[in-house]
A and B are shown apart, each in its own frame.
Chain A
Amino acid sequence: MKLLRLTATATLTALALTACGGEKIGETPAAGGSAPAQDCGAFNLAVNPWVGYEANAAVIAYVAEKNLGCKVTKKDLKEEIAWQGFGTGEVDAIVENWGHDDLRKKYIDEQKTAVAAGETGNKGVIGWYVAPWMAAQYPDITDWNNLNKYAEQFKTSESGDKGQLLDGDPSFVTNDEALVKNLKLNYKVVYAGSEAALITAFRQSEAKKTPLIGYFYEPQWFLSELKLVKINLPKYETGCDADAAKIACDYPEYVLDKIVSKKFADANGPAYKLVKAFTWTNDDQNLVAKYISEDKLSADDAAKKWVEANPDKVKAWLAQ
């Protein structure tokens, strides 16, 4: 019974504490009511899983919330699923799209649930890269003609008697098997399988001075940590990638763009106008991406920092 009494006392003490106990919920007015009274409504923004995209989304969401008074819901989704969301009404906008001709065909041309909403201003580059120390030590490695000379160095436990070409963030289209074959390179494509795997591999390559050649792309936050050097493959010309099996040229430059749902575009609300007007440079994106990845700011804080430093650009988007 002693225990019982103890508990009862504890309960009473707790009750007594509440008498003097702190701020009550519901007493203070709800925060965030200061946004301009504009009829923006709900805005469902897809966030694809890479930092560059997150930078675009962060800034757009920040401006939409603060300047337009939208109720922004960010949804963390892979590209495929985000596109799917246009049809089901779960997603309003994708704000960094890398090509994806198959998805364009399916959702814009066939199902007619999505429409393009202009370029983001960012240019996407895909290609083969080496760590800076390699380019410094073997300057001629950046010419693809010399790659076979170095194949021996790139041998790993995965590539047998050939050099290893580390490929494969599975989200990106790769022509590398065809390239290796058609350029008669003595390499084997090894599929790393994720962006994390590629970045870790390049990091270790630089830190340990071990040879590595692999598939990478920009804009990418990692390049501000380690400036990878691109290999020059035979120049891209329109149509040289028409037949997938015969590709023997570099990747085209991707013009990154925005895709929105048909409904969202037809409603033509303030959030749509903002998405359509949004455009910035690779440097802008890299800066915000750096805030997020290296300085570890939250997406919102990173956006705030950039928006406050670039009022003119934001004003230009809103003016349209």
Chain B
Amino acid sequence: MPSLVKDRRRLNRPVLVGAVLAAWVLIWIPTRGLDTLGLSPADLTPLHHWLNDVNDTVGANRNSSPFFLYFVNEIRAAVDSFVTFLQDLIAQPSYGRPVPVLGWLGVVAVVAYLSWAFAGWKPAVLAAAGFVFFGLQGLWEESMDTLALTLGAVVISLLIGIPLGIWAGLSDRFHRLVTPVLDFMQTMPTFVYLAPLTLLFLIGPASATIATLIYAMPPAIRLTAHGIRSVPRSAVEATESLGATGWQKLTGVLLPLSKRTIVLGVNQTIMAALSMVTIAALIDAPGLGKTVIKALQTLDVGTAFNAGLAIVVMAVVLDRVTTAAGDRARRTGRPSRFRRPLLAVFAVAAGVCCYLSYTYFWAAEFPDDVSIGSDLSKGADAVARWAQEDLSTATEALKNAVTYALLNPLEALLVQSPWWLVGAVAVLLAVLLGGVRAAITTAVCVALLIGAGLWQDSMTTLAMTIVATVMVMLLGVLFGVWMGRNRLADRIVRPVLDAGQTMPAFVYLVPFLALFSATRFTAIVAAVVFAAPVAIKIVADGVRAIPAATAEAATAAGSSAWQMITKVQLPMARSSLTLAANQGLIYVLSMVVVGGLVGAGALGYDVVAGFSQGQLYGKGLAAGAAIVVLGIMLDRIARASSPSKGSNHP
């Protein structure tokens, strides 16, 4: 591209964007309140009624339609028996025994053995310690139920996801086809499809597993495809020139070379599955999620925290083990000569532990006299109470400052503008930032939001989403740069980030409500807690990936730390910043529904109410779709405007 054009664009773009925004405000002043397309929470549009009717028809035909009798019911039976088998194995009394087949000792031994064999010593110790911790928390059975359900969902996700991912990696057409479907699966709020799922697959482990895998499968497909697409062309061409068949090419070159990315996909699938634990509990999924939900009913923060902590520990263990296994998959050093005999010896030891836990009560049921669960609960309770009583005055002030200075003006602009004004601004911005294609997508998305009958709610939610994403990026840059420059900081902060990502929101909703009241700001804070860790991690990795030589050169030239950050590290990590903003946004959107539970109103509340009240079902579904549409619109504009587009694909 001639540099002249590029320079002109760079010069003009911010000016034009500024002009569009200024024009928006100027037109807003005389037209505010016109054509805002408001719809009160109890009102429905014909589309919503129609969706209700569809839902009712499906329900009425559940027991007579051959589609259900011969197709859906078969899937249900297969998934049900698979997950129930896993539960019988490690979690629930089974086969006429008062305890599961494998008791705690056996499970700990098997987990430690597998972690050691695939990942190494350190992950194995961590895994064993983590699993013993579940027992100490007094949550052994619940944890194993959660583990069984998660494993079930992950195994099925991988069985389907990896082949689909390979296909998407090999075929551009399939890749284009599947990407929006995956976007849909990841951003459609689970609340929307929980009720229909139980209608299709009945109440029980099958529905819970399927709800989980809808959300957990996309990373497996995406990352497998990405791994295969990233294999260097030269390697593929070399095998082609040797006359390899398609199958040989796949198993000999593509899969081995993309192994590490695929393992990352497995890792992300596990994380996604664990993030569904509490929501699946709403349709009777067994395990830790139930403990959290039950505790929330009595606002028992301590008990919820204890169970939430178990989910965090499980996530951290599974994350570290799979990550280490992925790193090992990349290394090609020769194994030590002790490895083979050790594999055998440890296998025998694990086998003995399994036998013991099958045979003796002491090894089957975790001893309950060493519980630290109630101490953990009490500690969390005390901290929460202290925060609510002593901090809430300061936090109210913070809430008011952000709401009045930032959120309310932005919301006024978005919500009170006529729909055609906001639509025109969005399309113009898309043209300026992304180009014609992005503009067409944006126009379609605007039309869909209006068609869903939820324009005004969408704008309210959009205002919150923008504020939350800005906060996420501020934190992302601040902490990301710090962690990228400082290993020690990284080591200290990272577990906190893991906890933020995996601690179920239901655990901290009650303290947050006490600190910030039932407001839009509370919803924003909850979204930031969940979304900031991803942004921070991506920025930190980006900063760290800058070649040491560059940094040294800058230091040698006498740059101060501030110059180093602003002139070298941030500009060079620019593609990471874009990715962080994109992921941060997606994560913020996935918290819209949780926001609806704490005072956000708008789309989040529509979805929650649709889940709770039959006559609002159709509206909830439309609101869920509106969230997806918002996500696609913002993502496409951001992606089209990103300077690094397509750089991942050689």
How far is the CB of B441 from the nearest CB of chain A, in Å?
31
- Asked if A81 and B195 make an inter-chain contact with CB atoms under 8 angstroms apart, the answer reads yes
**Complexed CA–CA distance, A37 and B399 (Å):** 62
Of the listed stretches A197-205, A268-276, A310-318, chain B binds: A197-205
**Complexed CA–CA distance, A266 and B413 (Å):** 60
B198 within 8 A of A: yes
B486 within 8 A of A: no
How far is the CB of B58 from the nearest CB of chain A, in Å?
11
Q: A275-309, CB under 8 A of B: which get 1 and which 0?
A: 00000000000000000111010000000000000
**Complexed CA–CA distance, A292 and B297 (Å):** 10
- Asked if A50 and B297 make an inter-chain contact with CB atoms under 8 angstroms apart, the answer reads yes
Residues of B within 8 A of A292 (CB): 298
CB < 8 Å: which of B40, B202, B300, B520 contacts A88? B202
**Complexed CA–CA distance, A194 and B513 (Å):** 11
B425 within 8 A of A: no
**Complexed CA–CA distance, A10 and B195 (Å):** 52
CB < 8 Å: which of B42, B194, B359, B392 contacts A25? B359
How far is the CB of A248 from the nearest CB of chain B, in Å?
15
Residues of A within 8 A of B98 (CB): 25, 30-31
A237 within 8 A of B: no
Of the listed stretches A70-78, A139-147, A254-262, chain B binds: A70-78
- Asked if A204 and B195 make an inter-chain contact with CB atoms under 8 angstroms apart, the answer reads no
A166 within 8 A of B: yes
- With contacts A4-B345, A192-B598 taken as known, whether A157 is within 8 angstroms of B404 at the C-beta atoms is yes
A217 within 8 A of B: no
Q: B498-512, CB under 8 A of A: which get 1 and which 0?
A: 000000000001100
User: Which A134-182 residues have C-beta < 8 A from chain B?
Assistant: 156-158, 166, 168, 170-171, 173-174, 177-178
User: Which B481-515 residues have C-beta < 8 A from chain A?
Assistant: 509-510, 513-514
Residues of A within 8 A of B203 (CB): 75, 77, 81, 85, 88, 90-91
B156 within 8 A of A: no
- Asked if A193 and B601 make an inter-chain contact with CB atoms under 8 angstroms apart, the answer reads yes
- Asked if A203 and B518 make an inter-chain contact with CB atoms under 8 angstroms apart, the answer reads no
User: Which B271-327 residues have C-beta < 8 A from chain A?
Assistant: 281-284, 290, 293-294, 296-300
Residues of A within 8 A of B399 (CB): 157
CB < 8 Å: which of A75, A173, A197, A208 contacts B392? A208
- With contacts A80-B611, A191-B601 taken as known, whether A196 is within 8 angstroms of B296 at the C-beta atoms is yes
- Asked if A79 and B612 make an inter-chain contact with CB atoms under 8 angstroms apart, the answer reads yes
A38 within 8 A of B: no
Q: A184-197, CB under 8 A of B: which get 1 and which 0?
A: 00000011111111
- Asked if B518 and A197 make an inter-chain contact with CB atoms under 8 angstroms apart, the answer reads yes
CB < 8 Å: which of A26, A84, A102, A166 contacts B615? A102
**Complexed CA–CA distance, A199 and B388 (Å):** 14
B83 within 8 A of A: no
B248 within 8 A of A: no
**Complexed CA–CA distance, A200 and B282 (Å):** 21
CB < 8 Å: which of A87, A178, A193 contacts B599? A193
How many residues of chain B are within 8 Å of chain A by beta carbon?
82
- With contacts A25-B97, A84-B198 taken as known, whether A15 is within 8 angstroms of B362 at the C-beta atoms is no
**Complexed CA–CA distance, A79 and B361 (Å):** 39
- With contacts A25-B99, A81-B283 taken as known, whether A157 is within 8 angstroms of B521 at the C-beta atoms is yes
- Asked if A197 and B349 make an inter-chain contact with CB atoms under 8 angstroms apart, the answer reads no
Residues of A within 8 A of B245 (CB): none
B62 within 8 A of A: yes
User: Which A234-256 residues have C-beta < 8 A from chain B?
Assistant: 244
Q: B240-267, CB under 8 A of A: which get 1 and which 0?
A: 0000000000000000000000000000
Question: Which among A15, A75, A76 has the greatest number of chain B C-beta atoms within 10 A?
Answer: A76
- With contacts A77-B284, A157-B519 taken as known, whether A7 is within 8 angstroms of B345 at the C-beta atoms is yes
- Asked if B614 and A102 make an inter-chain contact with CB atoms under 8 angstroms apart, the answer reads yes
Residues of A within 8 A of B608 (CB): 170, 193-194
Question: Which among B346, B520, B598 has the greatest number of chain A C-beta atoms within 10 A?
Answer: B598
- With contacts A4-B342, A196-B299 taken as known, whether A111 is within 8 angstroms of B60 at the C-beta atoms is yes
- With contacts A81-B198, A168-B605, A292-B298 taken as known, whether A22 is within 8 angstroms of B360 at the C-beta atoms is yes
A33 within 8 A of B: no
**Complexed CA–CA distance, A100 and B612 (Å):** 11
- With contacts A84-B199, A193-B597, A293-B298 taken as known, whether A14 is within 8 angstroms of B342 at the C-beta atoms is no
- Asked if B361 and A200 make an inter-chain contact with CB atoms under 8 angstroms apart, the answer reads no
Residues of A within 8 A of B283 (CB): 77-78, 81
How far is the CB of A79 from the nearest CB of chain B, in Å?
7
- Asked if B41 and A24 make an inter-chain contact with CB atoms under 8 angstroms apart, the answer reads no
Q: Nearest CB to that of B68 among chain A residues?
A: A88
- With contacts A80-B612, A192-B518, A197-B518 taken as known, whether A296 is within 8 angstroms of B300 at the C-beta atoms is yes
A62 within 8 A of B: no
Residues of B within 8 A of A296 (CB): 300
- Asked if A156 and B597 make an inter-chain contact with CB atoms under 8 angstroms apart, the answer reads no
**Complexed CA–CA distance, A110 and B404 (Å):** 50
A106 within 8 A of B: yes
**Complexed CA–CA distance, A133 and B359 (Å):** 61
- Asked if B388 and A21 make an inter-chain contact with CB atoms under 8 angstroms apart, the answer reads no
CB < 8 Å: which of A25, A49, A79, A158 contacts B520? A158
A119 within 8 A of B: no
Question: Which among B284, B362, B598 has the greatest number of chain A C-beta atoms within 10 A?
Answer: B284
- Asked if A244 and B297 make an inter-chain contact with CB atoms under 8 angstroms apart, the answer reads no
Residues of A within 8 A of B615 (CB): 102
A51 within 8 A of B: yes
B7 within 8 A of A: no
**Complexed CA–CA distance, A8 and B342 (Å):** 10
How far is the CB of A277 from the nearest CB of chain B, in Å?
26
**Complexed CA–CA distance, A15 and B611 (Å):** 54
26 A-B pairs whose Cβ atoms sit less than 8 Å apart in the complex = A1-B338, A25-B99, A25-B358, A49-B282, A49-B293, A49-B297, A75-B284, A76-B282, A81-B195, A84-B59, A90-B202, A106-B56, A110-B60, A157-B399, A157-B519, A170-B611, A170-B613, A174-B42, A178-B42, A193-B518, A193-B597, A193-B601, A194-B509, A200-B510, A200-B513, A203-B514
A24-B360, A177-B42 are known; give 18 further A-B pairs, CB within 8 A.
Answer: A7-B345, A14-B356, A22-B360, A23-B360, A51-B298, A75-B203, A75-B284, A77-B284, A79-B612, A80-B611, A156-B517, A157-B408, A166-B518, A170-B612, A192-B598, A193-B601, A292-B298, A294-B298
Q: Which 6 A-B pairs have the closest CB atoms?
A: A192-B518, A170-B609, A293-B298, A200-B513, A157-B403, A194-B597
Residue numbers of B with Cβ under 8 A of A are: 40-42, 56, 59-60, 62-63, 97-99, 194-195, 198-199, 202-204, 281-284, 290, 293-294, 296-300, 338, 341-342, 345-346, 348-349, 352-353, 356, 358-364, 388-389, 392-393, 399-400, 403-404, 408, 509-510, 513-514, 517-521, 595-601, 604-605, 608-609, 611-615, 617
